[in-house]
Structure 1
Amino acid sequence: MQNTWVVAGLACMLSLSACATLNESECETVNWSDLGRSDGAAGQSSSYVQRHREACEKYSLPVDERAWRTGWEDGIRRYCTPENGLSAGRDGRSYANSCPADAAPGFESAYRVGKRVHDARSEYDRLKSELEQLYDNLEDAAKDEDRRKIRNRISLKESDLFFAEGRVRDAERLYDRYLYEEAARRY
């Protein structure tokens, strides 16, 4: 399980670094408005253009920040919806506090609801994995005293898991209620 998280983390870091830089050809030919729109639609902050500037400075090529900003403003408005906030939170994606003031409350409220589900599920999965490891340890334990200690830890972990499962249900109920209220608000 731990190896899975390491691989996922590395993949995430590689994908972020690949998206954060442009090569020389891209710096020469990119449509800055389209790139800004894409960055905004991905929820990147307005300071994200700095990464492009740093990449293009390596080749002594300019960045059209005005065009990028115009595109970004369009893209960020598309991103900063309650639906995207809910999805981003539930998927465990980070939020760069990039939404404009008029769109931020709806996005952030939904993000918190989705994030609560993500966090509750993550905690449940972690506890379940720890419990499985304890069961493996119990099978491998040679001494009665060791088995007794492990059984005590299993009992505590099962209790923790029970309460974590309740937190998942609570978070999912809140999520469902949010969806219901949003649907009712639209009609």
Structure 2
Amino acid sequence: MPFNQKFIAVSLLAAAFSLSGCAGKITKKDCETANYYDMGYEDGESGKNADRMNEYRNACAAEGVPVLEERYQYGRKVGLTEYCDESRGKKDAKDVKTDSLCLAEKVPPYMNGYSAEIAEIKEEKAKDLEKLRASKNEISQEE
């Protein structure tokens, strides 16, 4: 590869790395203009944890700008009710999923579905157990 092509390739690579470093940086303006409710709602609705709020809290503190964490948390709770719906609770209970964000956050629609499905599963297992006991009794009587 000729010198000019190497120089251009290295320059483009360096530019790409420098731009990627700036893309994720939270600025003072970002802190001042952030809609914390919407941010929280988006995070909740997509089932994300509160990592983005932690990033903003740290970056904005460094800029001397307070964050409106209560608005973020409220928005996130509203968003979580969309993500953590009753059907997701039922599915997670069927899949015996106990590490769910929705379960940890105790989101009401999710908990209703999860609890209802667990109760249904217990009822089915109790019926199965009763059938097994009846079969055992029949076998014992035949002997």
- TM class by shorter chain equals 0.3 to 0.5
Q: Tell me the TM-score normalised to structure 1 length.
A: 0.35
Q: Flag the structure with larger Rg.
A: 2
Q: Tell me the TM-score normalised to structure 2 length.
A: 0.45
Structure of greater relative contact order (alpha carbons < 8 Å, 6+ residues apart):
2
